[in-house]
Structures are given as structure tokens and as C-alpha cells.
Amino acid sequence: MIVRKALVLPFVLLMSLAVCSVDAAIKLPAIIGNNMVLQRDEAVPVWGWDDPGTKVTVSMCDAKVSATADDKGKWCVQLPAMPAGGPYVITVEGTNTVKVENVLVGEVWICSGQSNMEWPVAASTNAAAEVAAADRPQIRHIKIEHIPADKARDDVTSGGWQVTTPQTVGGFTAVGYFFARHLQDQLKVPVGLIGSNWGGTRIEPWTPPAGFKAVPALKDISDNLDKFPQKNADGSINHQTPLALYNGMIAGLVPYGIRGAIWYQGESNNGEGMLYAEKMKALISGWRSLWNKPEMPFYFVQLAPFRYGGNGEALPGIWEAQTATLSIPNTGMAVTVDISELGDIHPKNKQDVGKRLALWALAKIHGQKDLVYSGPLFKAMAVEGNKVRICFDNVGSGLVSRDGKPLTCFKIAGEDKKFVDAKAEIDGQAVVVSADGVDKPVAVRFGWHQESEPNLSNKEGLPASPFRTDK
């Protein structure tokens, strides 16, 4: 019996030491790992966990910075701003040493929203050719797993950063990849994509508490944040309720350095009209608050026409809300009325969607001043006898009918407020609208139906956004 105890005690001691050594190892968040892209020209946050009180030193190139793990074991440092380049190695020294390899410095974007953002390259137009040609080692992508949470997580779950090759690109967000490809072609710098998206999701679960609190119109949510996210009948978290995906898929990304966000969502909020604009305000304000970047660029996709059925004017209500979101500084909108598939809520042409988002970034962030980045947007109307003159912003080098046929999808109303099909003609930088029998016009609508695929664009090929002059 004494011999047995003598053998057991050293074994227990060794096991205890082994457990301690495992617990003491440096842990980095999922977003920080091999193949990652860091945001250029800004201080670079690097953080993780180690034993409380441990001094942790992070080095990269000639930079070396240190911090001490707090009483919960968390530490955070900031590497100095760096120009685009790489590959580099980051060395983290604490209780043990960890190396993060093949690191690039360039432009980093979050790619979020529902299924049209999650839609993969492998299911897009010309997929086989796109995949085969994807030898783009300076574009990197990380996919965040679908995990709702009842509290803000300090980490996300992911399989890590992937280098773009024909073997990996098929699963990337298509909109994000084609956005990155156009940026890289123009800027000649690495691009990192953080794919935090989930098909079928509403906007509310992605929004942080600070976002709801910043928008008075959402007081019914902000006053009850302690009740969210809600749970399903079986006790699991309802991922469609406020905070659920912010908690599980966004909070753990902060403070990773990013340039901005691209967003493709709204189908699951269809029918809400201008209330959706208030929710966009909350999302944008909330994310800017998270990253402490009040002017962080936020570019989004206006939904494509689709045969939803039911009220044909519900989708135009979302279009109107999305257009209104452009009043928020440093936002941009890619219009897609010309690249829709009325029988498919997932139009396969993601190449033009990504490129149109990239045009906003190139013009507004990267100084390409002569670049036409938007299609025509309604500016003003003026009644001229029995006609209405519609003026636009973003006409580029001129207005045009995209297919060379008479302009489509214009309607006009007289004092009876009954809208009828209208004749519309380009006149310089404006469109003149009229209809037989409407002698005293008061309002014009353009593309105001879920199945409208109007042909007005600028000569640069960017389509005009639907609008109405009446409210």
C-alpha cells in the first residue's frame, strides 16, 4: 500500500505540472493567425491571453512592444503603422513563444450580411473559369463560423485565414472576393476579407447595443436590451433576435484593424420601408463605435429586383430606405437593378456587385478623383407645364438608355394622384417625363415595383436607382 502511494504521488504531481503548462500557453484570438492581412497605415492591435501578470512582447520587423496580462490574463499591444507589404513574421513571447507567419499588410474589410454576401465564388457566374484563374496569393479570406451568443464573446470561431488559390477560393464570399480583386488590381496591395455573414439573417442580430441606443426610432429595442437575444423553445439562442450575431460573430473581432465594411442584406427585412433606414443607422453607428472609428467607410448593396409576390411596392420601400442611408457620411451604395434574376433571389453576377462596391472605395478612400463610382441618383424635380423635369446626381459623362430603347419604368401622376405609365426622354443632364391625359403632373416614380429592371444609366454603365418624388 505504501509503495502504491509512493508511485501515485509523483504521477499526480507530474500531471498537475502538465496541466499548468498547458494552461499557461499564450492564446491568440482566431482572427490573428498565419496568412492574415493587417490594415496598413494604422497602428496594428495585437492581443491575446496568458497567465495574469505575465509580460508579453510582440515583435514584427524592427518593431517590438510589450504589455502585461491583466488579472483575467488578457493583454493587448499596438504595433506601429506600416505600409503595405510582406510577408512578415510576428513573434509573441510570454510564458512561451508563438510565431504568426506569412503575414501581409494591406487593406482589410469585413464582408457581412445575409446570403447574397455569403454566396460563394463556386456558385457565381462563370464559376469554373473564375476558380481556375484564382491565383491571387495577396488576397486572403477568413470565414467566421455561424455562432449566435447570449453575451458578447471575446473571440470568434474560425478555421483561420486562407490564401486565395483555385483550391480555396470556391468557398469565399463572391461579392467580397470580386471587390478585393478589383481593389488589388487598382492599388497593387494585399487585401484581407473577414467573411462574417449568415444567409437569411435580419439586420437586428448584427447590431451592437450602442447602435440601438444611438437611434431614437429604435427605442423599443434599446429600452429592452437586457431581454435580447431571445431563446427558442428548446432553449437555444434565436439567431434572428437583436444582439445574437453581434455577440457571437462580431464582438470577438474587435479591435482587429480594418479599413471598413461591405454589407449585402435586407431581404429578410423586406416590407419595413423607411424603418430599415433607421436600422441601417444603428448598425453603422454601432460598428463605428466598436472600432472607435467614427468615419469608418461602410458600403452596401441595394437589393436586386425579385419576384417576391404580394405587395409589389414593398421592395421599393427597402430601396428607398437604402438610398436614404447615403445621407450618413462615408457610406456608398452599389445599385443592381440591371443585374438581377427575377426568379432567383441570388443573382449569380457577383463580379459587377463587387466591382461597384470597389468603385466607391477607390473614389472616396484612395483618391481616384475622376472615377465615376455611382449611377444616377434622384436630385430634384421641376414641373414644366404638362411635363416634369427630373435632375440627377452622378450622371457621369451623360445619361443613356442602356439598351438603346426608350426609357422604361417611369410613371407620372396628376392631381388625382393616380400613377400611369409615362414617356421619358433624356434632355441633357435630366429626364423629361410626361403622359397623355396628365395635364397637371405632381409626382413621378421610377422603377417603383419589385420586378422593375429599368434601363436608365450613365454612360459609364452604372444604373440609376429607383425613386419616387412623392412620399
- Per-residue confidence at 14, pLDDT binned at 50, 70, 90? very low
Pairing of strands 37-39, 97-113: parallel
384 has a pLDDT exceeding 80: yes
C-beta atoms surrounding 380 within 10 Å? 11
Q: What confidence score (pLDDT) does residue 319 get?
A: 98
Q: What confidence score (pLDDT) does residue 19 get?
A: 38
325 has a pLDDT exceeding 60: yes
Q: What confidence score (pLDDT) does residue 430 get?
A: 98
The type of residue at 316 is P
Buried b (16+ CB within 10 A) or exposed e, 154-186: ebbebeebbbbeeebbbbbbbbbbbbbbbbbee
| pLDDT tens-digit series, residues 436-453 | 999 999 999 999 999 999
| pLDDT tens-digit series, residues 90-148 | 999 999 999 999 999 999 999 999 999 999 999 999 999 999 999 999 999 999 999 99
Domains of the chain: residue spans and CATH: 37-105 (2.60.40), 110-364 (3.40.50.1110), 377-468 (no CATH)
- Distance between CA atoms of residues 115 and 276, nearest Å: 18
Cis peptide before 205 (omega within 30 of 0): no
| pLDDT tens-digit series, residues 59-80 | 999 999 999 999 999 999 999 9
- Distance between CA atoms of residues 339 and 124, nearest Å: 13
213 has a pLDDT exceeding 90: yes
Q: What confidence score (pLDDT) does residue 471 get?
A: 84
- Distance between CA atoms of residues 91 and 45, nearest Å: 14
- Distance between CA atoms of residues 215 and 2, nearest Å: 72
Nearest to 422 by CA among 393, 448, 395, 451: 448
- Per-residue confidence at 307, pLDDT binned at 50, 70, 90? very high
- Per-residue confidence at 18, pLDDT binned at 50, 70, 90? very low
- Distance between CA atoms of residues 467 and 376, nearest Å: 11
461 has a pLDDT exceeding 70: yes
Nearest to 163 by CA among 185, 144, 140, 184: 140
| pLDDT tens-digit series, residues 241-269 | 999 999 999 999 999 999 999 999 999 99
Mean of the per-residue pLDDT values of the chain? 95
Nearest to 392 by CA among 418, 343, 363, 429: 429
C-beta atoms surrounding 394 within 10 Å? 17
- Distance between CA atoms of residues 279 and 205, nearest Å: 11
Q: What confidence score (pLDDT) does residue 24 get?
A: 65
Maximum Cα–Cα distance across the chain: 110
Beta bridge partners of 432: 389, 425
Nearest to 466 by CA among 263, 284, 313: 313
Q: Which residue has the higher pLDDT, 9 or 385?
A: 385
Nearest to 321 by CA among 115, 113, 468: 468
4 has a pLDDT exceeding 90: no
13 has a pLDDT exceeding 80: no
The contacts of residue 309 (CB under 8 Å, 6+ apart) are: none
Instruction: Specify whether the CB–CB gap between 205 and 245 falls below 8 A.
Output: yes
- Distance between CA atoms of residues 34 and 266, nearest Å: 34
Q: What confidence score (pLDDT) does residue 188 get?
A: 98
- Per-residue confidence at 219, pLDDT binned at 50, 70, 90? very high
- Distance between CA atoms of residues 465 and 471, nearest Å: 16
| pLDDT tens-digit series, residues 19-60 | 333 456 999 999 999 999 999 999 999 999 999 999 999 999
SS3 string, the chain, reads CHHHHHHHHHHHHHHHHHHHHHHCCCECCCCCCCCCEEECCCCEEEEEECCCCCEEEEEECCEEEEEECCCCCEEEEEECCCCCEEEEEEEEECCCEEEEEEEEEEEEEEEEECHHHHCEHHHCCCHHHHHHCCCEEEEEEEEECCCCCCCCCCCCCEEEEEEECCCCHHHCEHHHHHHHHHHHHHHCCCEEEEEEECCCCCCHHHCCHHHHHCCHHHHHHHCCHHHCCCECCCCCECCCCCCHHHHHHHHHHCCCCCCEEEEECCHHHCCCCCHHHHHHHHHHHHHHHHCCCCCCCEEEECCCCCCCCCCCCHHHHHHHHHHHHHHCCCEEEECCCCCCECCECCCCCCHHHHHHHHHHHHHHCCCCCCCCCCCCEEEEEEEECCEEEEEEECCCCCEEECCCCCCCCEEEECCCCCEEECEEEEECCEEEEECCCCCCCCEEEECCCCCCCCCEEECCCCECCCEECCC
413 has a pLDDT exceeding 50: yes
Beta bridge partners of 381: 390
- Per-residue confidence at 17, pLDDT binned at 50, 70, 90? very low
The contacts of residue 92 (CB under 8 Å, 6+ apart) are: 26, 28, 46, 48, 56, 57, 58, 98, 99, 100
